[in-house]
Structure 1
Amino acid sequence: MSVYFYGCITLDGFLADKNHQLDWLHETGSSEETTYEAFYKKMDVTVMGKRTYDYIKNIPNFEKFYAATKNYVLTSHKDEVSDQFTPISGDIASFIYSLPQDKNIWIIGGNTLVTPLLNRDLFDYLIIQIAPVILGEGVPLFKDITRNLRYELESVSKYGQFVEIVFKKRSKWALYFLFV
C-alpha cells in the first residue's frame, strides 16, 4: 500500500482561501497542465473529506472523474453522499490501515485528513503543486503537526504556471545507514 497526498497550494501554503474557495487555483491554470491524469491512473482508492466532496459534487459530471477508483468520504452526514462514494467515519488512520495492502490511496482534501495521517507517518508520497499566488490567509495544508517527519526530494517539475515537487518517505533503512 502507498498513501499519497496530491494537491495544489499557494506560495504561502494555503489549499483554499478563507472561505474555502478555489478561485485562485482556477484562475492560475488547469489540470491539463499538470500530471493529474497520469497520477490518477495509478490510484485504486480515493479518500476525501466532506468539505472537499461538497465542492467537487458541484462540478458537472464530477462522478466521471472518479469512475476508476473506489471512493470514500469522511463524514457524519452519510445520507448526503452519492452512490459512487462510500461514507466513512471515525479515525481516518485506522481506516487507512484497514484498506488492502496492494492499493494506492489518494488523500484528497485538507488538513482534517492530512494532519492525522502525517501525525501517524502514513504518507509515502507528498506530491505538492505550488501556484504563484499569495492569499495571506486561508486553509493551510499543514496544521497541528505533532512530530518531525523527513522526506526525500524525488523530483521538481514545471507545468504551466505550477511547480510540482514530489517527496517520498525516507526509508528507515536509509536513516539507519546514515548513523551507523
Structure 2
Amino acid sequence: MSVYFYGCITMDGYLADANHSLEWLYQTGSTEETSYADFYKKMNVTIMGKKTFDEVAKMDDINSVYPTTENYVFTHQESLPVSGFIPIATDIVEFVSGIKANQNIWIVGGNQLLAPLLDENLLDTMIIQIAPVLLGRGVPLFTQKEILRRFYLEEVNKYGQFAELVYQKMGGRLE
C-alpha cells in the first residue's frame, strides 16, 4: 500500500480560501496542464473530506472525475447525492491501515485527513503543485502535530503556471 497526497496550494500554503472555495485555482489553470492524468491512472482508491467532496460535486460531470477508483468521503452523512462516492465515518488512520497492501491511495484534499496520516507516518508521497497565487489566509495544507518528518525531494516539474514538487518519505515508500 502506498499513500499519496496530490494537490495544489497557493504560494503561501493554502488549499482553499477562507470560505473553502477553490475559485483561485480554477482561475489559474486546469488539470490538463499538470501531471494529473498520469497520476490518476496509478490510483486505486481516493479519500476526501466532505468539504472537498462538496467542491468536486460542483463539477459538470462529476462521474467522469474519478471513474476508475473506489471513492470514499469522510462524512457523518449516511448517503451522498452522487453515485460512485461512498460515505464513511470512521478513524482515517484505521481506515487507511485496513486497505489492501497492493492499493495506491490518494488523499485528495483536506488537512483534517492529511494531518493524522502525517502524525502516524503513513504518508509515502506528496505531490504538491504550487499556484502563483497569494491568499493571505485560508485553509492551510499542513496542520499536523509538531513532530519532525523528513521527505526527500525526488522531482521538480513546471506545468503551465504550476510548479510541482514530488516528495518521498525518507526510507522509501514501504517501511
* Alignment TM-score, normalising by the size of structure 2: 0.95
1:171 — aligned with what?
A: 171
Who wins on radius of gyration, i.e. which is larger? 1
Asked if 1:30 is matched to 2:30, the reply is yes
Asked if 1:66 is matched to 2:66, the reply is yes
1:5 — aligned with what?
A: 5
**Which is richer in helix?**
1
* % same residue: 52
Per-residue CA deviations over 1:78-116 (Å, capped at 9, x if unaligned) read 223533111111210100001000000000111111111
Contact 1:45 1:103 in 2 (8 A): yes
Give the secondary-structure state (helix, strand or coil) at the position aligned to 2:71.
strand
Output the CA distance in 2 between the equivalents of 1:145 and 1:154.
24
Per-residue CA deviations over 1:22-56 (Å, capped at 9, x if unaligned) read 11111111111100000000000000001111111
1:1-180 equivalences in 2 (<5 Å): 1-171=1-171
Give the secondary-structure state (helix, strand or coil) at the position aligned to 1:96.
helix
Per-residue CA deviations over 1:133-162 (Å, capped at 9, x if unaligned) read 110000000014332101111000100000
State the Cα distance separating 1:119 from its structure 2 match.
Answer: 0.5
State the Cα distance separating 1:64 from its structure 2 match.
Answer: 1.2
Output the CA distance in 2 between the equivalents of 1:84 and 1:36.
20
Opposite residue 167 of structure 2, the aligned amino acid is: F
Change (3 A) 1:150 1:81: farther
Opposite residue 27 of structure 1, the aligned amino acid is: Q
Opposite residue 163 of structure 1, the aligned amino acid is: A
Give the secondary-structure state (helix, strand or coil) at the position aligned to 1:78.
coil
Opposite residue 98 of structure 1, the aligned amino acid is: G
* Alignment TM-score, normalising by the size of structure 1: 0.93
Change (3 A) 1:32 1:111: same
Output the CA distance in 2 between the equivalents of 1:27 and 1:18.
17
Output the CA distance in 2 between the equivalents of 1:91 and 1:37.
29
Give the secondary-structure state (helix, strand or coil) at the position aligned to 2:9.
strand
Output the CA distance in 2 between the equivalents of 1:47 and 1:165.
21
1:176 — aligned with what?
A: none
